[in-house]
A and B are shown apart, each in its own frame.
Chain A
């Protein structure tokens, strides 16, 4: 068997830099930066006011040293006042044909079905490059059904009422440190509205890419599924290899009304840093969904393989009666990656149900923490939760941690939590080897089996990509 150390040597194949002209905000974080960004986006007054309120709140948090320290991750302090908070390709595309050829070729390299010829893939894509959304496909097709899907900036211009109504309704800017920062400086992102009773015919997808060297990326996604509607939404991301750490502080808000269902899948593959832990993205993300009506359903699926540090807890507020929240996660840390990720299920409505399946894989010097909260409020009669969070350890230098919180305030609730941590079983390996499989294939098979419950939740193309990503990421680490 090769040593577990060789794990870190598998390469990050999305680490190229795209050479285009970029327009960036002046360095620093002041009220002027906020005004500059807002003016750049030509935003209505209510947006600027909201940003400024968020900025003021953020600055009080900074002054009072309220940066969250509780997560099991370690990194040098971030100088928030010395960052670049906006970077955008200089040419503003009017349609897909106008998109910078360099950018298109970037997305081609990434394998994103941005072009029309990829129609068969049946995926509508909104691609966000650094801070702005550069292209949206299938806008018309979707428009016929009344579905609004496009960049956040466009939505602010075209549907200000919807934005005003829902922005910050799930993740207010007072929610946490990074949510406040994002609210103040967010540049773009995706916006999606599914009207009543519409079942979105395509998988909607956003691809995020950080390209500029010094900027952080602060995008914001707002997705609203009105009564009785359904949407499946995919999100992917990558970044060039650089030896400085870049900050990614995004906010995702989902709202599902009565009888609506949202399925949100993420493949997170930001640059994880090199084999010595230099560089990589700090992925500090706030994701939350509101199952606002009766029978609404939210399902989060995430495959986390990238980023130097991941700090992320996609959560569900189960407000409606009979509402359902699900969280499926595979998190891989290798090299010197650190992940502190999990979910929060807050049961408010009666008969609400939640299910958490989390699979952590640690290799190399990676540190992987599952942190989750299941909270049953007094009114949530007959609430149910099942949680399973397993960890797999590869090599003796890594760490796998599990920190679940369970708070129950209603006696009719029923909760089960179980977790198990071990290395790849010798018996399973022996069985596979004895059938003639190579050690590497055997390990890969077992690890894939370990993640299967989560991968099954992904849309087909993503499931294939996730399996491949895991294989590539673990190349040389086992076997």
Chain B
């Protein structure tokens, strides 16, 4: 077993050698060193296991990912994207700013930045690393630690490209910036490591949407890492929209640092893929900072979605809200692990956490673990979790009004999802999400 695992990791180490050999000579030494230490760390950590005692991975088995024979571990830059695949992700017409990445590499011809203030930098990481190393030096890989997570180490080891958004002090961006990360699926399965770095200066404001997708059929792996650094009094709103193909696996990690009086909003929507695991880790480091995290996962067949939402209250007067909802059908499994840590200095913390699951099928499974770790006394912290089927009384009410069973079910599921969708203020995104929910419910009805 151990030996087999060793070879699984070895494949990636070998591929890494090809990858680093292909680096442009302009890549600064610091990045090269970073990539070297990250691959070394990955060799030590390996892929996580569900072994007893490994709490973090208790409910999610990634042996399938580790042993998968992906044909293309170092996909070369390509512009061969099925237009249909891209079209599914386009939102906001000609107004939104958009960067498109295929297999982790930026595609300038499909990108479009119509409405950005001049002070704002939105460029590819590859370009930033070679031409403006100053922009990445302070923050890149400083927040998402590759020391603890094998997948983050792997992403960092393969760090070649990605998105960089830097908003200086007091600059507010009106229109959202949409990052679309697509997998080509080329070469019997591509493995890509999308990377995002967003920094907001004091009192800056921005909205960033990350979309993930790829071909409907065929295996591929996306292993994404994002870092969000929010300056004093700044406001960052982000969305995570995962609409992968049926055989895709997605591992994602987002690290957020919040300075004094800043606020952060994250909406997470997981609809596609076979296995999807997201870690959202928010450090409330500045006094008075706050975050609002919400998510919706809708799964069917044998899909597996795992959300790890970790909130660290490290300063006084900080506020956090978490609300995640799951609609689970087929043989699918929804996992939620929410954690609120309140450090001793973080007096006057106000934290709430909630996970609600709707089980539509007898074979679906929900595993939820909302945890509180509290070391300060003057706090208000609460959490809750519910699991259940559709409310029979509500069903009866709708049926008594003449609705057929399928419509009544649809209406109730839609209402359940709406509590999350109502948080989305961006009309194009809201419409996009509504369309998805409606179509997946229509699909449910056909079954």
Stretch of B94-102, B232-240, B378-386 lying at the A interface: B378-386
Chain B binder among A76-84, A85-93, A99-107, A397-405: A397-405
What are 30 A-B contacts with C-beta separation under 8 Å? A70-B53, A391-B372, A393-B377, A396-B347, A396-B377, A396-B378, A398-B375, A399-B373, A401-B372, A402-B372, A402-B383, A404-B369, A405-B367, A406-B368, A407-B367, A408-B357, A408-B387, A409-B365, A411-B360, A413-B387, A414-B389, A415-B385, A415-B386, A417-B385, A417-B386, A418-B382, A418-B383, A418-B384, A419-B382, A423-B378
CB closest residue in chain B, given A396: B377
Instruction: Decide if A378 touches B362 in the complex (CB within 8 Å).
Output: yes
Q: Which among A403, A404, A406 has the highest number of chain B CB atoms within 10 Å?
A: A406
A395 at the interface (CB under 8 A from B): yes
Contact present for A417 and B384 (CB under 8 Å): yes
Q: In the complex, which residues of chain A have a beta carbon less than 8 angstroms from the beta carbon of B366? A: 406-408
A409 to B379, alpha carbons, bound, how many Å? 35
Task: Tell me if A396 and B373 are in contact (CB < 8 A).
Answer: no
**5 new A-B pairs (CB below 8 Å) besides A393-B379, A398-B375, A420-B381?**
A391-B374, A396-B377, A400-B372, A400-B374, A417-B383
With A and B bound together, what is the CA distance between A169 and B356 in angstroms? 36
Could you tell me the dominant secondary structure of chain B's interface residues? strand
B134 within 8 A of A: no
Q: Using Cβ atoms and an 8 Å threshold, which residues of chain B touch A405?
A: 367-369
A465 to B369, CA, bound (A): 35
Chain A residues with CB below 8 A from B376, complex form:
393, 396
Contact call B367/A408, Cβ cutoff below 8 A:
yes
**Which residues of the other chain, A, contact B361 by a CB distance below 8 angstroms?**
411
Let me know if B381 and A421 touch, CB within 8 A: yes
Bound CA span A95–B347, Å: 59
B385, closest chain A residue (CB): A417
Alpha-carbon distance A394/B379, docked complex (angstroms): 11
Within 8 A of B (CB), among A365-421: 376, 378, 391, 393-421
Within 342-375 of A, Cβ neighbours of B (below 8 Å) are at: none
> Total contacts A to B, CB within 8 angstroms?
111
Q: Mark B253-272, 1 if CB is under 8 A from A, else 0.
A: 00000000000000000000
The verdict on A401 contacting B374 (CB below 8 Å), with A406-B385, A408-B357 known, is yes
Complex-state Cα separation, A201 to B373, whole angstroms: 44
Q: Which residues of B contact A408 (CB under 8 A)?
A: 357, 359, 365-367, 387
The contact of A398 among B55, B371, B377, by CB within 8 Å, is B377
When chains A and B are docked, how far (Å) is the Cα of A288 from the Cα of B47? 35
Residues from chain B with Cβ under 8 Å of A413 in the complex: 359, 387-388
- Segment 102-135 of A: residues with Cβ below 8 Å from B: none
Range for the number of chain B residues in contact with chain A: 35 or more
Contacts of A395 in B (CB 8 A): 377
Smallest CB gap from A397: residue in B: B344
A422 touching B364 by the CB < 8 A rule? no
| Docked CA distance A315–B8 (Å) | 40
Listed residue (A407, A409, A411, A422) with the most chain B CB atoms within 10 angstroms of its CB: A411
Instruction: Give min CB distance, A26 to chain B, whole Å.
Output: 34
A174 to chain B, nearest CB (A): 14
Q: Is the CB–CB distance between B388 and A406 below 8 Å? A: no
Chain B residues with CB below 8 A from A165, complex form: none
Query: CB of B48 within 8 A of chain A?
Result: no
Q: Which residue of chain A is the closest to B365 with respect to CB atoms?
A: A409
Which residues of chain B are within 8 angstroms of A412 by Cβ–Cβ distance?
Answer: 362, 389
- Which residue of B has the minimal Cβ distance to A370? B372
* Contact of A411 with B362 in the complex, beta carbons under 8 Å: yes
- Majority DSSP secondary structure for residues of A touching B: strand
Q: How far is the CA of A419 from the CA of B251 in the complex (A)?
A: 30
Number of A interface residues in the complex (CB < 8 A): 36
Q: Is the CB of B372 within 8 A of A419?
A: yes
Complexed CA–CA distance, A226 and B174 (Å): 72
- Does chain B have a CB within 8 A of A144? no
Cβ–Cβ < 8 Å partners of B380 in chain A: 420-422
Which chain A residues border B373 with CB–CB below 8 Å?
399, 401
Q: Which residues of B contact A404 (CB under 8 A)?
A: 369-371, 385
A409 to B373, CA, bound (A): 27
Known: A393-B379, A404-B369. A399 touches B362 (CB 8 A): no
- The 5 tightest CB contacts between A and B, nearest first, are A411-B359, A393-B377, A402-B372, A417-B385, A418-B384
Chain B CB within 8 A of A74 CB: no
In contact, A419 and B369 (Cβ under 8 angstroms):
no
**Inside 8 A of B387's CB, which chain A residues have their CB?**
376, 406, 408, 413-415
| Chain B proximity mask over A413-436: 1 for CB below 8 Å, otherwise 0 | 111111111110000000000000
The answer to whether A399 and B384 touch across the interface, beta carbons within 8 angstroms, is no
B residues less than 8 Å from A417 (CB atoms): 370, 383-386
Contact string against A for B residues 378-402, beta-carbon threshold 8 Å, 1 for contact and 0 otherwise: 1111111111110000000000000
Min CB gap A4→B, angstroms: 8
With both beta carbons as reference points, the residue of chain B lying nearest to A402 in the complex is identified as: B372
Complex interface: chain B residues within 8 A of A397 (CB): 344
Complex alpha-carbon distance, A313 and B370, angstroms = 18
Contacts of B382 in A (CB 8 A): 418-421
User: How far apart sit A408 and B385, CA to CA, in the bound complex (Å)?
Assistant: 12
A391 contacts which chain B residues (CB < 8 A)?
Answer: 372, 374
Give A200 to B387 CA distance when docked, in angstroms: 38
How far apart are the CA atoms of A413 and B361 in the complex, in Å?
11
**CB-defined contacts of A410 to chain B, threshold 8 Å:** 359, 362
Other-chain residue from B359, B367, B369, B384 in contact with A416 (beta carbon distance below 8 A): B384
Residue-by-residue, is B127-147 near A (CB-CB < 8 Å gives 1, otherwise 0)?
000000000000000000000
How far, in whole Å, are A406 and B337 apart by their CA atoms in the complex?
Answer: 10
Residues in B neighbouring A398, C-beta threshold 8 A: 375, 377
For B53, the chain A residues whose CB sits under 8 A away are 69-70
Tell me the bound Cα distance from A399 to B376 in angstroms.
Answer: 7
Known A-B contacts A411-B360, A417-B384, A420-B382; A396 and B371 likewise in contact (beta carbons under 8 Å) = no
* Assembly CA distance A396 to B366 (angstroms): 36
| Chain A residues with CB below 8 A from B347, complex form | 396
**Min C-beta distance of A143 to chain B, whole Å:** 46
Closest to A421 in B: B381
